[in-house]
Each structure stands twice: as C-alpha cells, then as structure tokens.
C-alpha cells in the first residue's frame, strides 16, 4: 500500500534509548543536516529524569523537534525485579492454578532446588462458572453474578488491574467479552486485560501468563509515560511520542498501554533494527548482532536483513511473554558486571552489575568492586581519562589493589592475570549466547558477520569472532548509541495471531484467506490511526505449523495472503527438512496459528549523516593520538591509539590497534586488519582462527 511521500527535508526526529546503565540520545535534523548525540547515566529511580538530562546535555530546543521515539526498560525492569502492580485474575472454575503449575519444568534442569513465584499470587486468583470447549461450543453459560462478586472482592483487596482469562477463549471469545462489559461498570480504570485480545492462541498457560504480565505492567508504564510527557511538554515539545515495542516496531504512546506487554525487550529490539538497516546499507544480509552494554549483553540473528522474530520467548524462568518479539538472547555480562569469587573459590563474572551509580571503580563515582570495565582498563584497553564519569578521582593503583585483594590473592594471580581471567570468562558467557541464536537454531556462525555495538561490544568483538569462527566484524559509526539510532529508524508495526489448529487437508482455504484479510485491515487501521507521515504500509503473512502429534511449532513465511493448500504443505515440508534434516511424508501437517505483520514505513535515514567529516585527515597515521602499552594474549604490546573522528573513511589498519570515540572503544587484535567504508563503518577481518 503506497502513500504519498513526505518531504524528507523536514525530517526532524529524536531517538532516546534507556539502558540499564546509560541513557542514549540521537537527534536527526535533515532540514539543517544536524546530528546531535548524548550519553548520560540512567536514572533508575525515574527514567524520565535521565531522558531529560540527555536532552539537556545535547542542548536541544524541544520546540523544534517534530517526533520523539523512545525505547524503554520500564516494563522489563518491573518484571525482572517483580515490582508489579497488584493485579486480580478471574478464570474458568477449576483452572485458577494454571499460571502457577505451568509446564512442570524446573528452573535448573539438573538441579534439586529452584524457586518460582507466579506473576499473580493465588489469593488474587478467582474462579467463576463458565465453560467453552476447544471447538468454541458453549458447555456452561457464564455466571454474571460470580463475575460481579469476584471483581468487587478484588477491588476491596486493592487490585489496580485485572485479567479475564477463560479456557478456550481463542476459539470463542463471547464469555470474555461479556465479562469485560460487566467489569467495566465496576472497575475504576481501563486496566482490564482479556486473554484472547492479546494472544489468541490455544495454550492456556502461555496465554494466561502473557495476559497477567500485561495487566501487571499497564499502570507502571502509563504512570511513567505520563511523567515523561509532562516533562517533555512543559519544556516546549508539542509533537507525537512513539514507544518501541519488542517486535522492533513503534507505536503511539496513546495506544501502547493497552498492550503494555509488547514493550518488554523494547531496548534490545531497537538495536537489532538499527543493525539490520546498517547491514542492508552496507550490502551485508546475514548478521549476528552483539550488543554489550553496561549491564548485559544481547545477541540476535538477522537473515536476509530480516531480524528473527519469535512469539515463544521467556523473559526468565516460567515467564513466557507470547507476543511477537525480536528473538534476543540476553546474558548478564556487561561493562559493569561484577567479578567475584564464589564459595568454592572460583571466579564468576555477573550477572550482578555495578550499574551507573556507583558503577565500575574506574568511573570514579564510588565503585569498590571489580568489573569487566576495570579489567579492560588494567589491560590497557581503556583510557581512564576518556571514560564517562562524574568524578575522575580514582587512580590505577587503587584499581590494582582492589583486584589483588578481592580476586587475585584467592586465585594466586597478579592483577594483570586476574584482569585477563575476568575478560576470558565474560567472553565465554557471551560466546554461549551467540551459539544459542546460531548453532542451536541450525545456522553456522561462520556464514555471518558479527555486528558489534553497545558501549563495550567493539572491545570484545574480535575475541568472540575468533572463538566462534566468524570471519568478519562490523562496527557501526556510532556503536554506543545504536539502540537510540534504532528508535529513529524503526517503522510502525502491528502483529496479529489467530489459532486455527486444523490439519492442512481439512482447512477451508477461503476462511484462511478471510482471516489474513481481516488481520491486514485491522493493522492498517491501527497504523493510520497514529496519524504519522509514512512512505508505505506493507504486510507479511505466515503460518505456525507442526506435524500432528508434535508439540513444537515451525513458522512458515508465505509469499502472499492467498496461498493454496499444496503450497502450504510443500513450504512446511521444505522448512522442516532444512531445520531438522529429516523428512516425514507419512505424518500429516497441522496449521496451528495464522499470523500477519503490518508495517508503516517511515522515511529512511541516510547513515552517512552520522559522520562528522570536518575533522577527517587524509592518512590513517595522522589520526594517531598516542601509543599505549596494551595486553594481548600473554604480553603487553606498544599499541597505536587512533581517533575515530579523525580517521578517513577509506582506511586500512593492521592490528594491534585501538580506535577511540565518544561512545565506545574498538579493539583490533594482532593479525587482524581493519578498514573503513563511505558510511563510516569499520570492518575487521579476523585473523588466527
């Protein structure tokens, strides 16, 4: 669906991403060809303060900004920290414990102990008489009196939000709709979530938990956005505020609260979107993204410039959020990850983080525990005078002493050996995450380019590439603010899922086409409702399928919304063969879910705008700032330190070398070779596999 193109000269957008440690900002003004960047510590007590601090640091006039796109960790943090709104739960009689029983798995597959706390406690889960079977037939009518009684009791108990979750509502939603009508007359706000409206799938546990998560974070997200909008508008902003969803798309702040669960993993998704755009602009189709920030590392897979999106992700154990999200895997290894000795005297790194306050020791903000950033500093890989901090009152000797007393003495190593061990363990954790999104899914990392970003990603990328056999690393022009860039680039997006659960041979193909048509029309309606200027609205269609008798599903992408049954069957068999290397012609295929994605495409951004060409020199050697002793493998080497802002676009550098810039440090190891392109990207050809 084509739309009249807007005047790209009037493109004026601000992207802000809130991470666990830093809040990043990028402002793009095509009218004056101005790009502004800022990086400030995240204000964990209220993320809005960090956002406004970033705007203040960039010295922006909000009256001139036309659009703000925001990636937030508000809902993710609320879930992980279990700082949730008090929520009630009304379900079918006999099924109040479904969201607690789950799939009867264990937190640790081979462990004897584990702890699981349900999203909503048992005393806030109520049952009512009603029953619909899997075919959508009403077996027992809904008891309206019981609905009223349950809602009133939950209100008296102090619940702020409520979930309506009935068995088989995906097949027939009439009881949930009736319950909504009744409760709306009682409930004092709009924090009412129906299970089927968010996830129309046949798995009652996943559907129930997803609905519970949505209701539990709705008040939190709305309160935060209200605070942020108040700050923005009081400082002159008059435009639209868009929020990043976990699916890699954006949605108006006016609409996002209704489906608040979709904002989970908002920040990591924006980085993947930026990576896909950068890869496409650079002619690279297959990418493994590697985002190492201050708190954690996120990795994802991009094939054919399309990020991998999944509806089967768990934020943590027994917490499935079954809404479409960019398939990002996270490990607790970031620049601020704390290194310690466990009870057995073994070295551990993460998942605990020093955050931004007090942060690593080298930040000079009062940190007293060793971190990955401190280890890199001891190895000569970071310049203490260039590290972002509020105070620069810490010495190298102080860091050495802490490493020796906290770690080295127990390990029998000096401070350099200890720092090297910390980095090696961190790299091993991050390599494991990359294997999860590549090898475990049947793809060979050697066929991909490692896209390194985040404040610490380019510092570890070459080592990871060597360990995994990845031949090339791509470091974008602004690695430390790539997530904020993703906010600027991201399109509007709506995802829809409808459970069918019928064998292919019994599917009414007309009904299938009708569902696709309705999903597409609904998506276009929601996107147009946001009132933004777009270049195009496009749709894509897929089916979740399985062989009858299997539990796991495989997503099949379709060419259009009117496939015939032979095409569907063949597509599934081909995809199954590629994924599992086996043919099962004797088993019938089953269509589980029907999926449609609708995207509203914004004006594309020219990545060349991210570069400041005024300070460029003609030869790479002229961009050398100094030489520094840097530790590689088993010894210190005298290493040139380059200014990235001064490096020419087309350059070649042989390692060892370090490239410094405002938002990150790039490490080029011995026998590696780095070169630049016209977009300001750095490519590292990795040697010594």
pLDDT of amino acid 347? 93
- State the virtual CA torsion across 652, 657, 658, 659 in degrees, nearest 10: -10
CA distance 433 to 331: 7
pLDDT of amino acid 9? 42
Closest by Cα among 605, 614, 623 to 682: 623
Give me the phi and psi of 497, to 5 degrees please: -135, 135
Q: Is 621 helix (H, G, I), strand (E, B) or coil?
A: helix
pLDDT of amino acid 193? 95
C-beta atoms surrounding 573 within 10 Å: 17
CA distance 490 to 481: 14
Q: Do 524 and 599 meet the contact criterion of CB atoms below 8 Å apart?
A: no
pLDDT of amino acid 251? 86
Q: What is the pTM of this model?
A: 0.85
Output helix, strand, coil percentages for the chain, rounded to the nearest 5: 35, 25, 35
Query: What is the CB-side half-sphere exposure of residue 628 using CA atoms within 13 A?
Result: 21
Burial class (CB in 10 A: 0-12, 13-18, 19+), 283: exposed
N-term to C-term CA, the chain: 47
DSSP-derived secondary structure letter, 205: H
- Alpha helices (runs of H) in 478-623, residue ranges in sequence order: 482-489, 509-529, 565-580
pLDDT of amino acid 185? 94
User: For the chain, which residues score pLDDT lower than 50?
Assistant: 1-9, 389-390
pLDDT of amino acid 2? 38
Contacts of 599 (CB under 8 A, 6+ apart): 249, 491, 492, 493, 494, 527, 537, 538, 539, 540
pLDDT of amino acid 689? 52
C-beta atoms surrounding 81 within 10 Å: 8
pLDDT of amino acid 179? 96
pLDDT of amino acid 112? 65
- 146 to each of 141, 191, 339, how far by Cα in Å? 12, 20, 54
Paired strand residues for 18: 23
How distant is the alpha carbon of residue 688 from its chain centre?
A: 32
C-beta atoms surrounding 59 within 10 Å: 9
CA distance 232 to 243: 14
C-beta atoms surrounding 577 within 10 Å: 12
DSSP-derived secondary structure letter, 610: G
Q: Is 310 helix (H, G, I), strand (E, B) or coil?
A: strand
CA distance 387 to 664: 9
Q: Do 550 and 466 meet the contact criterion of CB atoms below 8 Å apart?
A: no
- Alpha helices (runs of H) in 282-414, residue ranges in sequence order: 372-378, 396-403, 409-411
pLDDT of amino acid 388? 52
pLDDT of amino acid 532? 78
CA distance 495 to 362: 44
pLDDT of amino acid 384? 77
pLDDT of amino acid 469? 92
């Amino acid at each position: 669906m084509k739309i009249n193109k807007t005047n790209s000269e009037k493109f004026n957008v601000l992207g802000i991403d809130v991470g666990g440690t830093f809040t990043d900002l990028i402002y793009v003004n095509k009218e004056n060809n101005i790009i502004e960047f800022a990086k400030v510590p995240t204000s964990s007590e209220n993320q809005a303060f960090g956002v406004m601090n970033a705007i203040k640091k960039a010295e922006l006039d909000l009256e001139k900004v036309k659009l703000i796109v925001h990636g937030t960790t508000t809902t993710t943090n609320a879930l992980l920290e279990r700082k949730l709104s008090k929520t009630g739960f009304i379900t079918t009689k006999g099924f109040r414990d479904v969201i607690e029983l789950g799939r009867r798995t264990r937190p640790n597959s081979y462990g004897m102990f584990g702890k699981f706390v349900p999203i909503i406690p048992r005393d806030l889960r109520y049952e009512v008489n009603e029953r619909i079977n899997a075919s959508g037939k009403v077996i027992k009518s809904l008891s309206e009196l019981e609905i009223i009684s349950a809602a009133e009791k939950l209100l008296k108990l102090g619940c702020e939000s409520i979930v309506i979750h009935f068995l088989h509502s995906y097949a027939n939603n009439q009881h949930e709709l009736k319950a909504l009508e009744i409760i709306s007359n009682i409930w004092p706000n709009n924090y009412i979530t129906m299970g089927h409206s968010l996830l129309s799938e046949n798995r009652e546990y996943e559907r129930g938990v997803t609905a519970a998560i949505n209701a539990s974070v709705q008040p939190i997200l709305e309160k935060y956005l209200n605070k942020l909008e108040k700050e923005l508008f009081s400082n002159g902003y008059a435009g639209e505020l868009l929020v990043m969803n976990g699916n890699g798309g954006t949605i108006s702040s006016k609409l996002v609260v209704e489906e608040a669960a979709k904002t989970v993993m908002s920040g990591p998704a924006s980085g993947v979107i930026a990576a896909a755009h950068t890869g496409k602009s650079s002619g690279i189709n297959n990418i493994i993204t590697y985002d190492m920030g201050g708190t954690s590392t996120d990795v994802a897979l991009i094939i054919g410039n399309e990020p991998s999106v999944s509806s089967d992700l768990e934020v943590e154990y027994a917490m499935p959020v079954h809404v479409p999200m960019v398939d990002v895997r996270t490990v607790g290894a970031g620049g601020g990850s704390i290194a310690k000795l466990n009870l057995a005297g073994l070295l551990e790194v993460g998942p605990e983080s020093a955050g931004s306050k007090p942060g690593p020791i080298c930040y000079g903000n009062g940190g007293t525990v060793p971190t990955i950033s401190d280890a890199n500093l001891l190895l000569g890989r970071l310049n203490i005078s260039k590290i972002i901090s509020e105070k620069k009152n810490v010495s190298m000797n102080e860091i050495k002493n802490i490493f020796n007393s906290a770690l080295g003495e127990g390990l029998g190593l000096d401070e350099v050996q200890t720092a090297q061990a910390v980095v090696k363990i961190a790299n091993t954790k991050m390599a494991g995450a990359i294997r999860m999104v590549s090898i475990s899914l049947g793809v060979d990392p050697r066929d991909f380019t490692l896209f390194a970003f985040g404040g610490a990603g380019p510092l570890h990328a070459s080592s990871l590439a060597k360990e995994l056999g990845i031949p090339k690393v791509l470091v974008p022009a602004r690695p430390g603010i790539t997530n904020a860039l993703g906010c600027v680039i991201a399109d509007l997006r709506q995802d829809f899922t409808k459970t069918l659960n019928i064998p292919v041979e019994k599917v009414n193909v007309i009904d299938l086409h009708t569902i696709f048509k309705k999903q597409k029309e609904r998506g276009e309606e929601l996107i147009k409702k946001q009132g933004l200027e777009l270049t195009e609205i496009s749709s894509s269609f897929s089916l979740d399928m399985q062989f009858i008798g299997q539990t796991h599903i495989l997503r099949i992408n379709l060419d259009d919304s009117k496939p015939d049954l032979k095409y569907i069957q063949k597509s599934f068999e081909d995809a199954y063969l590629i994924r599992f290397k086996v043919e099962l012609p004797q088993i019938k295929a089953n269509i589980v879910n029907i999926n449609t994605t609708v995207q509203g495409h914004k004006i594309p951004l020219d990545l060349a705008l991210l570069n400041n060409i005024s300070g460029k020199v003609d030869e790479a050697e002229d961009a050398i700032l100094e030489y520094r002793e840097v530790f590689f493998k088993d010894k210190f080497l005298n290493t040139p330190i380059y200014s990235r802002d001064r490096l020419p676009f087309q350059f070649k550098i042989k390692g060892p070398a370090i490239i410094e810039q405002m938002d990150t440090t790039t490490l080029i190891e011995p026998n590696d070779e780095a070169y630049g392109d016209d977009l300001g990207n750095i490519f590292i050809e990795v040697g010594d596999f």
